[in-house]
Amino acid sequence: MIGRIEDMLRLYRPFIHDNDYVFSTERIEALTATLDEDERRLFGFDIETLDWRSYWLDVHVPGLEKWSLPLLRNERIPDDPAMLPARATRRSGVLERDARPTQDDMAMGGAAE
């Protein structure tokens, strides 16, 4: 655990040492206000209720451990299914990602259903 904390401190030191950052939520609030009802259900959230501790511990740090830190150690990262070719479909007026493999995906060695 101490080694993990030291790795994180080393990683973030250039961004946090001797800096007094001020974070503002004005832009995310303005962008959220432009979403229609369907988009708000899909993408919207109330920045005021965001649990930052949970976000950092349960989302950000695990993401760094999976996708960034291995690269810093010259290790291979897992394949990201979100980066696989996929079709986009339009349902209910909202563009959605359809992750089912296409025939082209299958020909290129993509996963079978």
Ramachandran bin of 90, using left for φ above 0, alpha for ψ from -120 to 50, beta for the remaining angles:
beta
| pLDDT, average across residues 15-40 | 86
- Average predicted confidence (pLDDT) for the chain: 76
Q: What is the 3-state secondary structure (H, E, C) of 33-78?
A: HCCCHHHHHHHCCCHHHCCHHHHHHHHHHHHHHHHHHHHHCCCCCC
Query: Residues with Cβ < 8 Å from 98, sequence gap 6 or more?
Result: 86, 87, 88, 89
pLDDT band with cut points at 50, 70 and 90 for residue 110: very low
This prediction's pTM: 0.46
Spatial distance between the Cα atoms of 4 and 9, rounded to a whole number of angstroms: 9
Question: Which range has the worst mean pLDDT, 24-28, 42-46, 60-64, 67-71?
Answer: 42-46
pLDDT(27) > 90: yes
Give residue 111's pLDDT. Answer: 45
Give residue 102's pLDDT. Answer: 54
pLDDT(112) > 50: no
